[in-house]
Structure 1
Amino acid sequence: MFPGAADEREGTDAAGTADRGGANFVVVGAPLDATTTFQPGTRFGPRRIRSFAEPFDDYDHRTDQHFSDLGVVDRGDVRAWDDIEEYLEYLTSTLREAVWNDAVPLLLGGEHTVSLAGVRAVEPEVFVCLDAHLDLYDAYDGNPLSHAAVTRRILEDVDSVEEAVILGARTGSEAEWERADADDVTVIPPEEVGAFTRENLADRVADRETYLSVDIDAADPGYAPGTGTTEPFGLEPRELRDVVRTVAPHADGFDVVEVNDRDDGQAASLAGKLVREFVLSHAAERL
């Protein structure tokens, strides 16, 4: 269970069905590890994120809120299996249930492919993503549902999405950069993310339904080495935090993905802190 969240099993009715009608946020783990490249291990991501969030204080001085007072419910993990398309459909329905109950889904990955389920459930107009990679392959190794193709799938398969804003991207194939030149993609390189966040980001998502995704490899691997495909010259944790704080009040869905078990908890700790920052910032403005 994510620290400070209520267990879904608390408050079940006589039939054993959880009552999430009063939840403001619903945590769902998605330990998919099917297409991860280079270093696998994202199946352990949800567990590690929850675990390394344990030492964080419940009280947040900046927003004068207690995390445990904000209506966060942890649904647990949706166990992954090897049929990716079928798994994403099931995961989408799970997350959509939270949306229908007027709660914000908080998805803990798992590989980045699970973001497609989150976006399908929320149906936003703009997809904001912190990521080292463009993830704009039409297919990777012949697989259109690869984690390396997730932003392309979101743009082309989810009708509501008008634009993808990719923050911190610093690598991609020639074909991906050509796709990124289209009008529905905005790429902000790492060295420009700070200024863009301060000057443009809030206006870019204001009055637009938004989904925010954090691929932990957006951070420089010196800060978050526990991820599948590390890419140097990345963002500092405070830059990720500032993006999350800026977008959270406008976002109706959130995920943090690509955390694995190949470090001493740095990536999971950062991911857990970003989940909290999202909840605290969203709640401070909208609850």
Structure 2
Amino acid sequence: MFPGASAPREDAEYVVVGAPLDVSTSFQPGTRFGPDRIRTFAEAFDDYDRRTDRHFSALSVSDHGDVHAWNDVPAYIEYLSGVLRDVVWDDAIPLLLGGEHTVSTAGVRATEPELFVTIDAHLDLRSEYDGDEWSHACITRRVLETAEEAIVVGARTGSEEEWERAAEGDVTVVAPEDASTWLGSTDATERLSGRDVYLSVDIDGTDPGFAPGTGTKEPFGLTPREMREVVRVVAPHAVGFDVVEVNDRDDGQAAALGGKLLREFVHEHANNRT
């Protein structure tokens, strides 16, 4: 159980769901350990949040547990979408713990947002990778089959095909060095205001010096504070949230950051919930 996620499922306003999919990770696998690892390293956090003057355990969070993954990715995504859709139908916010980034497709299908905002080192706009259209390298491309628009914050690498796709009108790329400025801009306010948003945190969006426990490391990324600021700005508009691409190849830095960002999301969302 995610620490503090002790509300009865039927009363919950937020529901944690683990999705330990680890099929298409293209460099260093291990995302199947992500959900439990995030839960484990969140155990050290204080329940009380000084900024919001609230206790996480009082915010009506429940933990559904993990949805066991199998190798038929389209079938798994369809099943996971149903689990998350049940959360939405119960008027709760799904909090998905990956697992590889492919699982975000299920979160988007369940919540049907207008706008997909992702923190990610990679554009993930390939039509396929090594012949696999369900690769984690294609997630933003797959999401745009449901969402109207995508904003990729922290992207700093991609193929030529991806950068060409990113130049189209339904994709915005915010480079790491521009993230703080963009978050405080009129453009960000206008793009988020009045829209249903799904927020996805690929842990590799941060610089690997801060969170080395991820499969495809890319230097020159965001700092944890910048990632936290993205979460705080987007959370009030969000209908769903995930943290993905955490593996077991560090001493817990990536998992601790992922767990902390989930808590930041819940605190900020609850603080603005009407």
CA contact (8 A) 1:245 1:278 kept: yes
Match of 1:154 among 134, 143, 148: 143
The offset of 1:186, in angstroms, is: 0.3
Structure-2 separation of matches of 1:92 and 1:76: 15
The offset of 1:21, in angstroms, is: 3.2
CA contact (8 A) 1:215 1:258 kept: yes
Match in the other structure for 2:50: 61
Matched, 1:247 2:234: yes
Residue deviations 1:20-74, cap 9 Å, x none? 3321000000000000011000000000000000010101010111100000000
CA contact (8 A) 1:202 1:247 kept: no
Q: How does 1:181-196 map to 2 (within 5 A)?
A: 181-196=167-182
CA contact (8 A) 1:201 1:247 kept: no
Match in the other structure for 1:15: none
Match of 1:113 among 76, 80, 102: 102
Structure-2 separation of matches of 1:166 and 1:188: 6
Match of 2:262 among 275, 279, 287: 275
Taking only the aligned residue pairs, the percentage that are identical comes to 66
Structure-1 separation of matches of 2:113 and 2:189: 16
Match in the other structure for 1:204: 191
Q: Stretches of 4+ moved more than 2 A in 1?
A: 200-203
Match in the other structure for 1:89: 78
Match in the other structure for 2:2: 2
- Residue type at the aligned position of 2:176: P
Structure-2 separation of matches of 1:202 and 1:242: 14
Structure-1 separation of matches of 2:188 and 2:250: 32
Q: Which runs of 5+ in 1 are unaligned?
A: 12-19
CA contact (8 A) 1:129 1:214 kept: yes
Structure-1 separation of matches of 2:212 and 2:56: 27
* RMSD across aligned positions (CA): 0.9
The TM-score normalised by the length of structure 2 is 0.98
The offset of 1:162, in angstroms, is: 1.2
Match in the other structure for 2:166: 180
- Residue type at the aligned position of 1:3: P
Aligned residues: 273
CA contact (8 A) 1:26 1:103 kept: yes
The offset of 1:204, in angstroms, is: 1.6
- Residue type at the aligned position of 2:192: V
